Amino acid sequence: MDNFNMEIKTRFHDLLKENIKDKKKWVNELADILNCSVTAIYKKNRDDHFYTVDEMLFLIKHYSIDTNDLFGNLGKLRLFSVPNIVYPIRNIEDYLARLSNNLSGLDMEKDAKVFYATRELPIFYYFLYPKVALFMLFVFAKTVWKVDKYIRSPFDPNGFPPDLISKIQMIWDKYANLNTFEYWNTNVIDITLEQIRFYFEAGDIDKEIAIGLLSDLELTLQRIKDMAMTNSKLEGASTNFQLYENKILHTSNHVLVRTRNLSSIYIAFDHPNFIISRDVEFLEYSNKWYQTVEENSFLLGKGSGHMTSVFFNHLHHKVNITRKQIEAFQR
């Protein structure tokens, strides 16, 4: 909101100066019009002060300023909400509650569509296997949210609140019911593999746990491949999953949600935290961008079994390389 106010202030000052005939005596002219001191005018033109609403209306009328010039075409300004500023994540439960809240209601919207362009595996797929999910949440708690409990502790799959697994499963169930169009590349697991290798080498996870995480990650990839081949995230369900390989366009991590009543875009910032916009023009711009991404991507799954196998074989190959590195590592 501060940026919005500052733009209005700047425009109003500029419009006043355009309408004042004697530019050198603009302060005196405004002081005479508003029946106040020259000092007061100087003060009103500082960033930390401004004209009252009555003074603005009086000057707009006096100079016949077109309000469209003042308030119209604020196209340079886009409004975003930043949940983590208002309600900072203080623990893993806070984050899961936020994820769940953002999904709530979408599974009841029959026309809801989710467009997900990413260079990292979407967090929801880690929730298919508890140990992988807990490891990812451990990394975020340790590095991003700086939760005291995890900062100096090694990764222990048994060291989490007992109800966490059920919360993770509920979030996956909500996401699995959504109609999603996802645009990935073969780098989506790179950061996860690097994190497993890093925390293993740092001594925060032992070799057995590290190898177990890689095995569960391979199972995750196989589950996703099966979903891609059936175009469904739920066994026996109707089509609700289209996975595209995006080979040529760079993307950050963001999600466009479209429903009949409301659309939003979620952009990863301070990952896995996010910022949100419901700005109409920005959403229209985002829609066009997603169309461009889809036009330059390859649909995996039904009808493209060979391409699907090549895509996932490449991911499995990366897991195998990391496994060999960990197995050969000597402390």
Domain ranges of the chain: 2-71, 83-328
Tens of pLDDT, residues 255-296:
999 988 778 999 998 889 999 988 888 899 999 999 999 999
CA distance 166 to 287: 34
Is it the case that residue 299 has pLDDT exceeding 60? yes
- Within 10 angstroms of residue 146's Cβ, the number of other Cβ atoms is 12
Highest mean pLDDT among 123-137, 247-261, 295-309: 123-137
What is the per-residue pLDDT for 305? 86
**Antiparallel, parallel or unpaired: β 113-117 and 179-184:** parallel
- Only one residue has tokens 């995750």, namely 220
User: Measured between alpha carbons, how far is 246 from 299 in angstroms, rounded to an integer?
Assistant: 9
With a cut of 90, say whether residue 46 has pLDDT above it.
no
pLDDT computed for residue 210 by the predictor: 97
User: What contacts 24+ positions apart, CB below 8 Å, involve 157-162?
Assistant: 157/130, 157/131, 157/209, 160/92, 160/134, 161/92, 161/93
* Exposed e or buried b per residue across 65-99, where buried means at least 16 C-beta atoms within 10 angstroms of its C-beta: beeeeeeeeeeeeeeeeebbeeeebebbeebbebb
Average confidence (pLDDT) over 32-43: 89
Question: What is the distance of C-alpha 257 from the center of its chain?
Answer: 11
State percent of the chain over pLDDT 90.
60
- Please identify which residue in the block is written with the tokens 């746990």: 209
The pLDDT, as a whole number, for residue 25 is 84
pLDDT value of residue 116: 97
Q: What is the mean pLDDT of residues 178-187?
A: 96
| pLDDT tens-place string over residues 69-116 | 776 655 555 678 888 887 899 999 999 999 998 888 786 777 899 999
**pTM across the whole model:** 0.77
Q: pLDDT-derived band of residue 6, with 50, 70 and 90 as boundaries?
A: low
